Amino acid sequence: MDTVYENLVFDDNGLVGSQCIDCKEYFFPKTKSCSNCSSVDMTNKNFGTKGRLWSWTTQNLAPKAPYFLHDIKEDYQIYGVGFIEMPCGVKVKSRLQVSTVKFEIGQRMELKTSILEKPNGETLPVFEFRIEKE
């Protein structure tokens, strides 16, 4: 497992979140406590790599700082944002890869880890979902 930040864990096997041991609710990213029942007994849960598009939008303007690429004005690449409903029911907010196929609620989506890169060589690993290839 690649731990990108303390609470952000993902790799090609899936996104890792938390499950509450007491009420069984799922959370992403990993959390220290349960916002449903206030329990602090949490366990890791791998949500897998596949889900369905629950809602989507596009980010047509470059977000302001601290967005990693906020200072790259020319050649801005529109990206998608969506909630992916994972098999366990939790919906995870994620970047979406834009392609020629229009997003539609209910589409089958798959996880694709990726790297955001600046001209100066700085990089940021990200997780994204894309429409599943037939």
Partner 1 sequence: MERVAIIGIGLHPFGRTPGMSGLDQGVFAARKALDDAGLKWSDIGIAFGGSRSSGHAMAATNQLGLTGLPFINLYTGCATGGSSLFAAANAIKSGAAKYAMAIGFDKHERGAFSPSAKNNDIPSWVSETGLMVTTQFFALKLQRYMHDYNISHDTLVKVAEKAFKNGSLNPNAWRKSIVSYKEIAESKMINDPLRKYMFCSPAEGGAALILTSETEVRKMGVKAVFLEATEMRTKNYGSFEVYDTCLAANIQPTATSNAAKAAFESAGIGPDDIDVLQIQDTEVGAEIMHLAENGFCKHGDQESLIQNGETLISGRIPVNTDGGCIANGEPIGASGLRQVYEICLQLRGQAGSRQVLNSPKVGYTHVYGSPGVSAVNILATS
Give contact residues for partner 1 (rule: CB under 8 A).
Answer: 4-8, 17, 25-29, 35-36, 54-61, 63-69, 79, 81-83, 88-95, 105, 116, 124, 126
- The option from partner 1, Zn ion, none interacting with 74 (CB < 5 to 8 A, set by class) reads none
- Residue 15 or residue 20: which is nearer to Zn ion going by CB? 20
Three-state SS annotation for 15-82: EEEEEECCCCCEECCCCCCCCCCCCCCEEEEECCCEEEEEEEEEECCCCCCCCCCCCCCCCCCCEEEE
Place of tokens 């909630």: 83
Examine residue 33 and tell whether it contacts Zn ion (CB under 5 A): no
CB 41 within 8 A of CB 22: yes
Least Cβ distance, residue 30 to Zn ion (angstroms): 14
Residues that bind Zn ion in the complex, under the rule CB under 5 A: 20, 22-23, 34, 36-37, 39
